């Protein structure tokens, strides 16, 4: 394993070189996995449905519109909860990073709620917020908020002191330092927080739907479980995986766009 810090040019060419090759390996690996799965089902080693059956069910659910409705219901909850969670987390995180007192007051609460799995809040949320969308969106909000807020304030407190001094000696006041130094310098941290937040929001929505919902991918799986409908469970799982992957890629892309100026260390 070698570690190299690349400059802009080699970084790009390296990625281009690697991409098709890596993509092929990924495809190959997936194909092998599906092959093993198929072998296990035809040989009778497993009671799982075969890849073929799952594919048929997927097409069926896609054509009936059921799959899209479920995906839409889950995505909607995630996006609303995540959007509110992270939008509130960023200013709160900045506040905590910038003012010692704000940190001292808010931090204990965050540390406390951080160790409670968001799912453990669901019973309380259902009792107090009812059984409609509110409790689900609330727990997702909480999951996204907690990871983004911690990342943001970590970002603020780890801004290199010399950047602040350099700005001050060039004539910057606190307001300018905040806007032109603290915000850009902590952006990479915030984006990592978003990525983790989106991941935990997605994990939380599915679990929340398993417990209390009338729609969504988690709800569909829970229903299928009642009828021993394994193919539908598989279809839902695959949809969850693909949607999660797509959302993660979008955040990673945004991250690369917004923080292209960062020196990155590659591990090969």
Partner 1 sequence: MTELQPKISFQHVSKKFGDGLKSFIALNDLSLDIADGEIITVVGPSGCGKSTAMNIVAGLIDASAGQCRVSGNSVKGPGPDRGVIFQQYALFPWLTVLKNVEFGLKLQGMGREERRKRALHYLELVGLKEFADAYPKTLSGGMKQRCAIARAYAVDPSVLLMDEPFGALDALTRVKLQDQLLETWAKDKRTVMFITHDVDEAVYIAHRVVVLAARPGRLQEIIDVDLPFPRNEEIRLSREFAAIRNRVWRAVYDQ
* Contacts to partner 1 by CB under 8 A: 7-9, 160, 162-163, 165-172, 176, 180-181, 184-185, 187, 259-263
> 122 near 208, Cβ under 8 Å?
yes
Q: How far is the CB of 200 from partner 1 (least distance, A)?
A: 28
Query: Rounded to the nearest 10 degrees, what angle do helices 230-258 and 66-98 cross at?
Result: 40
Least distance to partner 1, CB of residue 5, Å: 8
Nearest one of 93, 148, 138 to 118, comparing CA atoms: 138
Q: Is the dihedral of CA 231, 233, 239, 242 positive or negative?
A: negative
Nearer to partner 1, 132 or 160 (CB): 160
Closest CB 267 distance from partner 1, rounded Å: 18
Write the CA distances from 155 to 65, 146, 170, 174, 216, integer angstroms: 43, 14, 23, 17, 35
Considering the complex, state which of residue 45 and residue 169 has its C-beta at the smaller distance from partner 1: 169
Q: How far is the CB of 264 from partner 1 (least distance, A)?
A: 9
Least distance from partner 1 to the Cβ atom of residue 17, Å? 19
DSSP 3-state of 250: helix
Cβ distance to partner 1 smaller for residue 43 or 162: 162
* Shortest distance in whole angstroms from residue 261 CB to partner 1: 5
CB of 185 to partner 1, least distance (A): 7
If DSSP codes are grouped into helix, strand and coil, which group holds residue 144?
helix
DSSP-H helix ranges across the chain: 8-42, 51-64, 66-98, 100-114, 122-129, 133-157, 161-169, 174-177, 183-211, 217-226, 230-258
Which is closer to partner 1, CB of 116 or CB of 166? Answer: 166
Closer of 228 and 261 to partner 1 (Cβ):
261
CA distance 189 to 135: 29
Cβ of residue 230: shortest distance to partner 1, in angstroms?
50
Q: Answer for the pair 208, 129: CB distance below 8 angstroms, yes or no.
A: no
Show Cβ contacts of residue 216 under 8 Å, excluding neighbours closer than 6 positions: 70, 73, 74, 77, 205, 206, 209
Residue closer to partner 1 by CB (options 181, 203) is: 181
């Amino acid at each position: 394993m070698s570690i190299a810090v690349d400059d802009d040019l080699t970084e790009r060419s390296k990625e281009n070189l690697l991409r098709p090759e890596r993509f092929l390996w990924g495809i190959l690996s997936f194909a092998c996995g599906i092959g093993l799965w198929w072998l296990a089902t035809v040989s009778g080693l497993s009671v799982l449905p075969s890849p073929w059956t799952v594919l048929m069910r997927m097409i069926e659910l896609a054509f009936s519109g059921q799959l899209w409705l479920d995906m839409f219901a889950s995505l909607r909850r995630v996006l609303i909860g995540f959007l509110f969670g992270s939008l509130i987390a960023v200013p709160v995180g900045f506040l905590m990073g910038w003012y010692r007192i704000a940190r001292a007051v808010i931090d204990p609460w965050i540390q406390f709620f951080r160790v409670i799995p968001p799912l453990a809040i669901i019973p309380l949320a259902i009792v107090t917020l009812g059984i409609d969308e509110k409790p689900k969106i609330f727990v997702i909000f909480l999951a996204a908020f907690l990871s983004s807020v911690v990342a943001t304030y970590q970002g603020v407190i780890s801004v290199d002191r010399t950047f602040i001094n350099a700005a001050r000696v060039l004539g910057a006041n606190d307001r300018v330092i905040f806007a032109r130094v603290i915000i850009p310098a902590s952006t990479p941290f915030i984006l990592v927080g978003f990525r983790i937040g989106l991941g935990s929001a997605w994990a939380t929505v599915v679990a929340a739907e398993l417990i209390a919902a009338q729609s969504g991918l988690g709800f569909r799986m829970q229903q299928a479980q009642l009828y021993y409908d394994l193919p539908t469970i598989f279809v839902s799982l695959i949809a969850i995986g693909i949607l999660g992957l797509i959302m993660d890629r979008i955040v990673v892309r945004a991250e690369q766009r917004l923080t292209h100026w960062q020196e990155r260390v590659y591990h090969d």
